[in-house]
Amino acid sequence: MKTVGIVANPTKDGIRPAIEAVRAWCDDHGLTVLADVALREFAPEGVPCVASAELVEKAELVFACGGDGTLLSAVRMIATAGYETPVIGVNLGSLGFLTQIAEEDLGDVLSDLDPDELPSSARMMLEVSVRGKPGSQLALNDVVISKGGDSRMMSFEARADGEVVTRYAADGLILATPSGSTAYSVSAGGPVVSPRVEAIILTPICPHTLSMRSCVIPPSTVVEVEMLTCDDVTVVSTDGDRAFGLTEGDVVEVRTAEKRAVLVDVSR
């Protein structure tokens, strides 16, 4: 390893001390450190700030400083660029299920962290597209089909490799990875699935029929969700970020992504 990158949410407190701690660790191990250009006003002297694309291309380890949203964004950016660079999360916010390192513990964790022996785990990701529309998006936690706040309940048909799973009347549908099973999916009544298990978890949001429950299907499955009825404010989001707008007749396709997220696991 030669180069370490730092990305962060510039609205969070504690960014400057976090960058300084990472730079000190890099200096101790003879590593070059790069910060994302958005951190220019926070980066101490001697830490170059580069465009995100350059950082992703050069970094062999990325520190994501902020909350889970920062880490999810970093992972998607890396995978979209075609890399599987390890990411280590530093929690500078209030929500940190994936960002394991608390701000106050960063120095202690780094003192025990060997850049040549990173304890890491690979996590499956999802790729989502809408048939007939250009492009696709990646998600580490979940793909969510949801309606606008004032719109009516929608109906849709879910298919697995072309076979009908069920028809839903609901406020939406969550398609989660095991990593995302403890996020929105579990809040909607879905199961908690170990990240060591690979699967796609389908959980309806506020289904009209009480018998509707989550489905857990193999990761090799291609899931199709055909929108039977929906308002024009219906959207597909990936890890909480809007990806596509939907209309009646659209078919959402979700499959396991080729690239994986690699998270450094300091709990081991």
Active site residues: 68
98 within 8 A of 182, measured Cβ to Cβ: no
Across 81-106, b (16+ Cβ under 10 Å) vs e yields: eebebbbbbbbbbeebebbbbebeeb
120-to-2, 80, 174, 241, 242 alpha-carbon distances in Å: 18, 20, 27, 26, 29
- Residue 198 burial class via C-beta count within 10 angstroms: exposed 0-12, middle 13-18, buried 19 and up: middle
What Rg value do the Cα atoms of the chain yield, rounded? 20
**Distance (Å, whole) CA 129 – CA 127:** 7
**Distance (Å, whole) CA 171 – CA 125:** 24
**Distance (Å, whole) CA 143 – CA 110:** 33
β pairing state of 241-245 and 154-160: unpaired
- Tokens linked to 248: 């009646």
106 within 8 A of 90, measured Cβ to Cβ: yes
